[in-house]
């Protein structure tokens, strides 16, 4: 599932994409794959290949066939060279985990690592997987003195801090006779926001003394020009004529006039605990997308009205960690 990010000045609240913003987590230290931390075993195909070699060798001895002996020894040497090459695909790699961006509960969280190859040999068939060997993964090849980023998406179910499952980096190239892997440690945890309510309740009334109400309609927006498409942009704002002319995906940019300040109060939100958090999350997403100042009142937090990315991140983080103290 692609990540969708909140952007300000993007039209009315009805077109707001439900997207995470970035709440930083401490960067994880890099690690170098050591010889003693790399494990290797034959694959099912490798075991079948070994049985074939044993049968070939027994047949060569039974019939005293020199060509069969030559073929058996040649294939055995090839398998041993493959074992050494598979093991060498991992040893010496420098791994730098990337701090994951927050997502909403129910979305897939992309876990990424940056790989650097300091040697003069390419690294073949590198795959990032969950600890379970049957989990899917994406394979990349790392050139000599090169670098690459591997990503694995894992599902999220509940809000709060998400501790990534055990990850492993593995390789089966060349020939797929052996699999070598190393376990990754110190993967940064990620923050998971509550799931935005769907359908959404009407927004709370504007706070008293904040000026005239801004109609939440697209026709009150001022067109400001075009910009490059970003993942999460609503299709209603894509400039399709430019795409048809071969200019790529461009998104129409609007300037929304100032709106009234709204106060999101925990005590005035209907429902039980998780329902309240979902409604508040949805309102925050809509108000931020509409560039409308808002404040948040929780039993453990009183955030004054603002409209900026740091305020947006702080409010969503407080909802994700409730009833823990806000970060």
Could you state, in order of their start, the residue ranges of all structural domains in the chain?
Answer: 13-18+196-321, 25-189
DSSP state of 246: T
Residue 189 vs residue 185, higher pLDDT: 189
Q: Say what the pLDDT of residue 259 is.
A: 62
Whether the CB-CB separation of 248 and 229 falls below 8 Å is answered with yes
- d(CA 308, CA 79) in angstroms, rounded, equals 59
Q: Say what the pLDDT of residue 215 is.
A: 42
Tokens of 144: 């000599």
129-133, 202-206, 252-256, 261-265, range with greatest mean pLDDT: 261-265
Q: Which of helix, strand or coil describes residue 78?
A: helix
Q: Say what the pLDDT of residue 91 is.
A: 93
Q: pTM score, two decimals?
A: 0.70
HSE-CB at 212 with a 13 A cutoff on CA atoms is: 4
Question: Which of 179, 159, 10, 8 minimizes the C-alpha distance to 85?
Answer: 179
Tokens of 37: 């931390």
End-to-end CA distance of the chain: 27
Residues 95-113 have a mean pLDDT of: 89
């Amino acid at each position: 599932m692609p990540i969708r990010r909140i952007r300000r000045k993007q039209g009315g609240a009805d077109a707001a994409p439900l997207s995470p913003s970035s709440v930083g987590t401490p960067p994880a230290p890099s690690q170098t794959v050591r010889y003693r931390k790399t494990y290797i075993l034959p694959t099912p195909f490798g075991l079948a290949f070994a049985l074939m070699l044993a049968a070939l060798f027994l047949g060569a001895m039974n019939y005293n066939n020199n060509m069969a002996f030559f073929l058996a020894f040649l294939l055995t040497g090839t398998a041993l060279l493959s074992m050494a090459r598979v093991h060498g695909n991992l040893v010496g790699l420098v791994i730098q985990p990337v701090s994951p961006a927050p997502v909403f509960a129910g979305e897939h969280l992309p876990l990424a690592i940056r790989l650097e190859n300091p040697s003069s040999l390419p690294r073949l068939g590198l795959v990032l997987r969950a600890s379970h060997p049957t989990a899917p993964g994406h394979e990349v090849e790392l050139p000599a003195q090169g670098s690459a980023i591997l990503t694995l998406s894992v599902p999220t179910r509940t809000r709060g801090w998400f501790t990534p499952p055990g990850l492993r980096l593995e390789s089966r190239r060349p020939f797929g006779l052996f699999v070598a892997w190393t376990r990754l440690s110190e993967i940064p945890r990620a923050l998971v926001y509550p799931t935005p309510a769907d359908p959404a309740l009407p927004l709370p009334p504007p706070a008293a003394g904040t000026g005239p109400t801004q109609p939440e309609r697209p026709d009150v927006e001022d067109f400001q020009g075009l910009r490059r498409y970003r993942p999460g942009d609503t299709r209603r704002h894509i400039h399709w004529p430019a795409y048809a002319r071969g200019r790529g995906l461009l998104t129409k940019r609007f300037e929304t006039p100032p709106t009234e300040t709204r106060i999101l109060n925990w005590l005035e939100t209907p429902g039980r605990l998780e329902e309240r958090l979902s409604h508040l999350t949805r309102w925050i997403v809509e108000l931020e997308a509409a560039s409308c100042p808002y404040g948040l009142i929780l039993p453990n937090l009183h955030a004054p009205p603002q409209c900026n990315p740091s305020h947006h991140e702080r409010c969503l983080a407080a909802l994700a960690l409730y009833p823990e103290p806000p970060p």
